[in-house]
Structure 1
């Protein structure tokens, strides 16, 4: 399998990845609420999936 990573790519851990995604989601929510536009069913579904994934990743790991 080819490795498409570039020298300028940044490798971040799961915690920082989740924090970045959470911040992006928060900014989307603020922007969408400011415009008072309803979410399309597809976008609403994707936002729900992101929230579920964030919740799973923030739970303590069980070994």
Structure 2
């Protein structure tokens, strides 16, 4: 499963570098991706069902 990470500042952008109020711009993270993050004060929202390859392509384009 893939998730959006959200805290009081908004949704995390891809890679965890910044925030957005728009869920469509939010990064999509797997549980393995999140192992390195400090998620204190964050909530996870299940990302919409899209293919993992498409999500990876979108995340790479923004880097």
In the superposition, the TM-score normalised over structure 2's length comes to: 0.32
* TM-score, scaled relative to structure 1: 0.32
Find the structure with the greater CA-based Rg: 1
In terms of fraction of residues, the more strand-rich structure is 2
